[in-house]
Chains A and B, each alone.
Chain A
């Protein structure tokens, strides 16, 4: 069974695989920094009051931060 959930709803410490992007206007920079279908991520930090989310792109071992507004358009499968 798949647990489809948008990236912003994941909790700190959750690991998930990115499935798809709902917003076709998402800047290409997101893909270049490693957000792409199939990429495994782990939620590392969340700034309070719906602030940015810090994600570890596991394959690159890099930390990338993004805003909730973009995170809610990224669909993931929680592992």
Chain B
């Protein structure tokens, strides 16, 4: 049995991923390309007596990369030593944009790779008013041309059989413009073994992918010498190729009226309408958030109950002691704390991937670019910003398809300002404490405040983008050009597959960090440096001689927390947070929150000796926590701890501070830079500190 690597390549929106899902029968895995964080989708199948390793490359219009995603394609093709270097490239195309498919096919062949050509969505030919003469097309492309329909699986088996095809050699490479010949001849000397076109590919890139710094500098010198730019070379090639193809095109394709496009036009007249377009978009947005919060409630309760009962069950079967407590309160509670966000994330990604599958997402980019551009962002930033309302982790990752490095960086830096699901429980508790449950102009004040917090997140993101936009220097000019694909019914397999990938990715990536930190937190909270921690009864009795046995029992947990390592840390940071109106108990909550915000509620519950099994969805339990917090006195000021000023200060702090280890980790991975990650953390937390400080000092 032989092993062969097959690469799927093609323009975006040609149904390549559906085809990949069909070929691999979803027997696939998603990882990262080494060194960069672009998603790598690969699968394995056995057929024709051989084993095939199939790679779904990111969609691209050309081998010249415009974004991080697209760079992967060239990186895979340029070096024969690369373990993903294909034995066969399958160029996927669709009837409507056949000429663009041919362009990339020719680039692949001229780089010296064997390839076959697939026309996908074949059943739409008639609707699209297109007739293709396949024998003539095969002759022109000098390879086998196959037709498939990834939606119903037509043609897939034949395609797989053709993985064994001996692709005939390719003749007649593009005649490169003669004005660049001297430069090209000189470049050839650096790469004596490469095809002419491959040398041209190197020469026509600013930072040629896959080459040594040395060769890149040499190529740069050649370009300077002959006074040519990479844009010029790429542009000339594109124009030349399209011209050549158009000359032949009518020989194998006949076009009449395109019915699909006229349907798309009708829909676009409404969805891209200067007024209704926006109303519909915001309507959809509202519906999504409604769904995320309303539908996820019962599921989240279910997760919560399952994990509480699991915890209780494990607590009873394991012998009492530190191990029991670590497993129950550290590990099981930690895992539960991650899984609880899964329903919201699944629902949000369901909608986002539906919007992408149907083609609506590009329309959103079209509608929103004008409004985001002044902030240094890009229409494509909408997707990360929207996803940020569920969880910043997958949101930051979705910024990958923004071409301009500066706009991509800005988007990643400001996305964590969006009000993520983890902030919600804190907002609910604090708003419940300090905002009166009264009606104002017919609206519930608490509800208005919560809504205001969401708006605040958006304002925080845009305002910070504005500032950072002034600071960050742009390397490349910002531009935006994108295709608005034809509307189509979603391929549910794709949708579910995407949702599964994103959710499981979140669970694993964020989960690892949250779990690790939960354990550390548990250790810090459950061990103390001295006798006050190990013998609390003695000290409580000493301090409060009149306490009954029962009162002492009640105070033990709180006392132990105060004298645990965590308590010492809380008191250690007290001077810094005093001006914001917080005491050391809130300090512990804040420290814990730097791991993940959602820990706050559980932590204060422990500090106020209510046990950490507080469920704020449960009215009774919520009231107990609220009552306990309301009666709390700040021993620095002698006033109520959770008064209006402290409450507002806390809300502002949580709205702006970067308090999520997992996000920090993802930003580090995606930006590839610790300095940007630290600048972001510093900027957000600094902003949080100062707004909270000002609010408290003004309101107290």
**A-side interface residues toward B, CB under 8 Å?**
24-34, 36-37, 44-52, 54, 56, 59-67, 69-70
Contacts and interface: CB of A to CB of B under 8 A. Distances in A.
Contact of A51 (B62, B66, B362, B370): B370
A56 to B, nearest CB: 8
B274 A48 contact: yes
B238 A32 contact: yes
B238 A24 contact: no
A65 B482 contact: yes
A79 B337 CA distance: 63
Contacts of B246: 59
Contact of A24 (B61, B229, B243, B272): B229
B9 to A, nearest CB: 14
B231 A54 contact: no
**Interface residue tally on B, bucketed by range:** 35 or more
B231 A27 contact: yes
A58 to B, nearest CB: 10
A32 B96 CA distance: 15
A14 to B, nearest CB: 15
Given A47-B274, A52-B366, A62-B96, A32 B480 contact: no
Interface in B84-100: 96-97, 99-100
A61 B362 CA distance: 17
Nearest to B234: A28
Contact of A65 (B61, B64, B99, B484): B484
Contacts of A51: 366-367, 369-370
A26 B231 contact: yes
Contacts of A60: 96-97, 99-100
Nearest to A63: B484
Contacts of B700: none
B480 A52 contact: yes
Contacts of B238: 28, 31-32, 36
Nearest to B480: A67
A49 to B, nearest CB: 6
B482 A64 contact: yes
* Residue from the set B238, B255, B481 with the largest chain A CB neighbour count within 10 Å: B481
B264 interface: yes
Interface in B251-285: 255, 258, 261, 264-265, 268, 272, 274
A3 B239 CA distance: 24
Contacts of B268: 44-45, 54, 63
Contacts of A26: 231, 235, 479
25 contacts: A25-B231, A26-B235, A27-B66, A28-B64, A28-B231, A32-B61, A34-B100, A36-B243, A46-B274, A47-B274, A47-B367, A47-B370, A51-B367, A51-B369, A59-B246, A60-B97, A61-B261, A62-B483, A63-B483, A63-B484, A63-B485, A65-B365, A65-B480, A66-B480, A67-B481
